[in-house]
Every structure is written in structure tokens, then in C-alpha cells.
């Protein structure tokens, strides 16, 4: 066996800053954050048309070229799915998605140059997409990073499920506890933009449904299934909260099966954790496929 492959460090959050600080531990007061959404309503902006809210999967972290005028910290791409959808549908786009965003950043500033995302909403907004949840409790990156570490010795020989054995339901429990925050965010969108059609966007499939692909994604077969289950739980929570709060859920997970980070270049919609500019994030193809799914949802909702 040759020398071990070096992995591009996963950004803390999805993504707080490119190659950012160490992953934060899971720690969040759910009640306090849900109250913050209700107690600190965003100031309505003056824009109309389509407002895109979300984290790095929406922003298009690492996908070139960068969006003109977007805050540098947000790593927003000019060819992310909001831009592609707006162009295809002839909508006026206000894209305030930002890498590393949590649901709290809907109502609180993320950076000095990135005000609360809900500031972009107004009574004249007609369409809203919300792609958020993976950074709350930093749950998804925490899960992947924790499993990379737990599987360091086991993944090369594909032995067992050390990460699942160590963490059990920790990450899925955190996802469940985030549901009130997602619900509060959707309700606030309806309050600020009462005429808008609201779409909650799910996350793409990151790892395969069976097997593993060391060293591209350094997990055992058992822990690949474990991480896959965590992402399914995240998407299921988002779908449930969308449906319970008057929003349309756009399933990106199902259509992306077979296009995960273990697949060959040209097939995958999510890049692996090494040798790419968007590790464990949608690549350009992924953003394009996202746009196709969102366009279909818009069409079904009567947005031509």
C-alpha cells in the first residue's frame, strides 16, 4: 500500500469559510433559537420576484465563476441553482444564500457584509426557496468529520462501523431537535411574504446506498450506511416541516441516488473529500441538476 492520501479538510459548517475553523461541537438551545426567530423578525426589503435563501448547497460553494456582487465570505456561485432557475424562468432573482448559514442566519447577520437573509423578503416577493438545515447543530459536517476520524484505521480494511458504534443516534437526535427551528423559519417567510410560494429544498445524496469507496470517501461500508441514514433523516425532517407549514418540499435526494461522491467525474453531482474545490458539496453538475428539480417544482406550482 502506498503512502496515505491527504484529504482536503472539510469546512466547518457547510461552509462557514473555505477551509474554515475546526468543526463545532453539537451544542444548541432549540427553544432559544426558535424564540429568536419569532422575537427578531427580519426587516422586509423592497425586492420582488424570486428570493433564494440557504447555505452552501444553495450558494454553490466552490463552483466557478463566483457571483458578481455577492459577499466574498459566502462563496456564492454565478451558476448555482437559484441563478440557473431564475434565468430559465425569467424571474428577478435576489440570491442571499451564504455558505455556512444556519437557520439562525435568516434573522441574524452571518458576517458584517451578510445581513439577515430574511431582509431580502418583502410583501411583493412571489417565490422563495429555502435550502437550510445541514449546518444547524453543525450536524451533517459533524457527522462526516466524526466518522472520518472514527474510521481512520477501519476504513482501509473495511472493518465494522466504528462511527455508528461510537455515536449511535446522536446526529439523528440533533436533526429531530432542529425541527421547531425549521418550522419557525417557514412560518416567518409566510409572514413576511404572504403571497409567496415557498419551496424547501432537500439535500443531494452524498454517499452510495451500498458499499463504500475508500479512499475517496474514507468510511467503512457500515459507516457509509450510517452516514446515509443520517442524511435521510435530515431530508425527512425537512420534508415533514415543509408539508406541515404550507411549503412545497423539493426532493433532491432520490433523484441524485447514483450520483454521489463515490462516482466517477462526469457522473457524480457531489464531489469527494479530496482533490476537488467543493468537497462533499454539489459540483457544477450538481447545481445544474438541482436547478432542473427546482424548475420542475416551480412549473408544477404554476410558476412559468
- Residue 252 is placed in which grid cell? 433532491
**Catalytic pick from 137, 212, 259, 281?**
281
Q: Which three cell numbers stand for residue 213?
A: 469507496
281 is known as an active-site residue: yes
Cα separation of 106 and 41, whole Å?
9
| Residues 119 and 143 sit within 8 Å (Cβ to Cβ) | no
> Residue 49: beta bridge partners?
125
- The DSSP bridge pattern shows strands 125-131 and 197-201 to be parallel
Q: In terms of C-beta density within 10 A (0-12 exposed, 13-18 middle, 19 or more buried), how is residue 211 classed? A: exposed
- Look at phi and psi of residue 167 and say left if phi exceeds 0, alpha if psi is from -120 to 50, else beta: alpha
Query: CA–CA separation, 91 vs 294, rounded Å?
Result: 13
226: cell is 450510517
CA dist 280 → 6, 112, 152, 277 (Å): 15, 27, 18, 10
56, 122, 172, 278: the active-site residue? 56
List the catalytic residues: 56, 281
Amino acid at each position: 500500500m502506498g503512502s496515505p492520501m491527504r484529504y482536503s479538510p472539510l469546512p466547518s459548517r457547510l461552509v462557514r469559510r473555505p477551509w474554515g475553523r475546526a468543526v463545532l461541537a453539537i451544542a444548541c438551545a432549540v427553544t432559544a433559537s426558535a424564540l429568536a426567530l419569532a422575537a427578531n423578525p427580519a426587516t422586509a426589503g423592497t425586492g420582488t420576484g424570486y428570493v433564494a435563501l440557504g447555505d452552501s448547497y444553495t450558494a454553490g460553494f466552490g463552483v466557478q465563476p463566483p457571483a458578481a456582487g455577492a459577499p466574498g465570505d459566502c462563496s456564492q456561485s454565478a451558476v448555482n441553482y437559484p441563478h440557473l432557475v431564475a434565468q430559465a424562468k425569467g424571474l428577478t432573482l435576489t440570491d442571499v444564500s451564504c455558505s455556512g448559514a444556519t437557520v439562525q442566519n435568516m434573522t441574524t447577520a452571518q458576517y458584517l457584509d451578510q445581513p439577515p437573509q430574511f431582509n431580502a423578503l418583502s410583501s411583493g416577493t412571489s417565490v422563495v426557496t429555502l435550502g437550510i438545515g445541514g449546518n444547524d447543530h453543525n450536524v451533517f459536517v459533524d457527522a462526516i468529520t466524526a466518522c472520518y476520524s472514527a474510521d481512520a484505521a477501519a476504513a482501509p480494511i473495511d472493518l465494522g462501523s466504528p462511527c455508528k458504534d461510537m455515536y449511535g443516534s446522536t446526529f439523528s437526535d440533533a436533526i429531530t431537535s432542529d425541527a421547531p427551528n425549521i418550522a419557525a423559519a417557514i412560518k416567518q417567510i409566510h409572514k413576511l411574504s404572504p403571497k409567496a410560494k415557498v419551496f424547501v429544498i432537500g439535500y443531494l445524496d452524498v454517499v452510495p446506498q451500498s458499499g463504500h469507496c475508500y479512499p475517496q470517501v474514507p468510511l467503512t461500508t457500515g459507516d457509509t450506511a450510517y452516514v446515509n441514514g443520517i442524511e435521510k433523516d435530515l431530508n425527512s425532517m425537512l420534508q415533514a416541516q415543509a408539508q406541515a407549514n404550507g411549503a412545497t418540499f423539493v426532493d433532491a435526494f432520490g433523484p441524485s441516488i447514483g450520483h454521489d461522491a463515490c462516482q466517477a467525474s462526469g457522473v457524480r453531482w457531489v464531489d469527494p473529500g479530496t482533490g476537488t474545490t467543493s468537497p462533499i458539496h454539489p459540483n457544477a453538475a450538481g447545481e445544474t441538476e438541482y436547478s432542473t428539480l427546482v424548475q420542475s417544482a416551480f412549473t408544477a406550482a404554476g410558476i412559468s
